Each structure stands twice: as C-alpha cells, then as structure tokens.
Amino acid sequence: MHNIEPFYNWENIYRSSKDTKSPFYGKKYSDTVCHNTIYNHYIHPQWDEFGSQTLYIKILFVDYEKHYAIIELLGEWNDTLYNDIMFLYRNVIETLLDKGITYFILIGENVLDFHSDTDDYYAEWFDNLDSDGWIAALNFRNHVINEFSEANIDHYFVFGGQFDELPWRNLQPYQLFKLIDESITKRLGF
C-alpha cells in the first residue's frame, strides 16, 4: 500500500498545504518516511489523515471562485466501526463548506471497502450544499457502489454510468469539474 500515492500532476497549480483556507494548511510532508498505516500496512506519506483509522484523503484541487473541490481517497471507508464519515465531515468537509464549496468530486478508485452505519452525516452534508450543489463519486469499485446503494446513501451521491470509469487524470481540474457538472445537469434534465 505504501506505493499507492495520491495524484500529483496538479501540484504545480494547487497544494492543500499551501492553501490558507485548507484544513491541511502548513502540513509538512516526507517523501520517503511512512508513518500512517491501514491495518498495519504503511501507506505513502503524502496522504492526509483526518481522524479516521482506515481512510485517508488528499485534497487535489479547490477552486473557491467556482466553488468546487476534488478529493482523492485511500483505504477502507468504515462508518460501522470508526464513524469515518463523521471525521471526514467534521474535520474536512465543514471547513470547505464554510469557505463556499458546494460541489464535491470524490475519487474512490483506491477505496477498498465500505461499511455503513447511519446516513446522518451524509444527509447533513447534502443539506448544507447550495440548491444546485452536488457530491459526485468517481471510479469507486462496484462492490463499494453496491454498498452505498444498500445503505441508501446513494441519495446523496451522484455515481454510476460514465462516473464509474472516468479517465480524470487526463483532464485539468476545471475540465473535470465542467464535465461532471454538465453530466449532472443533463441527468437532472435542466
């Protein structure tokens, strides 16, 4: 797992550690020394911890003028044992919402599993978006998407179809946001 690093091709235009509005502002990273683990497996030191024992993130890009954030995830999303959504919502998402972010792109190809509990924090997150805000889930594994649906949190995320295998690494942040926003607008019939 220590070889799975967050996407870094946008670092020349955005770094959460240099963004004064980011919950990770001022964080110093090692390029070689791993200290965080998921079930005793070291992970790459560039991933950010936010309170979860099994889930880590990297804020890849935030545009405060266009109100969107792109966040990559790694690990096991476990609400049952560790209440990961509470930590994610309280320690990261609320900060971004307070700064005007209403569009969230979650990249989940490195989320290995999902265990649900209640949907309270998902509902709160969704309710605190502007009327046209959304949460898009990209490239999550099929069994994770099935778990989202079985837990009824699919009401809060947009996923499926082209969002399941979107080649997002080939795009610049605004291109990705625009593509997703247009797709969601078409889905909703606006």
pLDDT higher than 90, residue 160: no
d(CA 132, CA 130): 5
Q: Name the residue range of residue 164's domain.
A: 50-188
Tens of pLDDT, residue by residue over 30-71, are 888 988 999 989 999 999 999 999 999 999 999 999 999 999
**Domain-embedded: residue 96:** yes
**Domain-embedded: residue 155:** yes
**Domain-embedded: residue 21:** no
**pLDDT confidence tier of residue 130, bands split at 50, 70 and 90:** confident
- Is the entire prediction scored with pTM above 0.85? yes
Mean pLDDT of the chain: 94
Burial of 8 (0-12, 13-18, 19+ CB in 10 A): exposed
**Domain-embedded: residue 182:** yes
Residues in contact with 58: Cβ distance below 8 Å, sequence separation at least 6, in sequence order: 6, 7, 16, 46, 47, 48, 71, 72, 74
- DSSP-derived letter for residue 40 is T
**Domain-embedded: residue 132:** yes
Tens of pLDDT, residue by residue over 108-124, are 999 999 999 999 999 99
d(CA 81, CA 90): 17
**Domain-embedded: residue 84:** yes
What residue ranges in 100-156 does DSSP mark as E strands?
Answer: 103-115, 134-138
**Domain-embedded: residue 45:** no
Domains of the chain: total? 1
For residue 69, CA distances in Å to 34, 52, 151, 165, 173 come to 26, 20, 25, 19, 9
Residue 17 CB coordination number (10 Å): 15
**Domain-embedded: residue 121:** yes
Give the residues across from 63 on adjacent strands. 68
The CATH number of the domain where 127 resides is what?
3.30.750.24
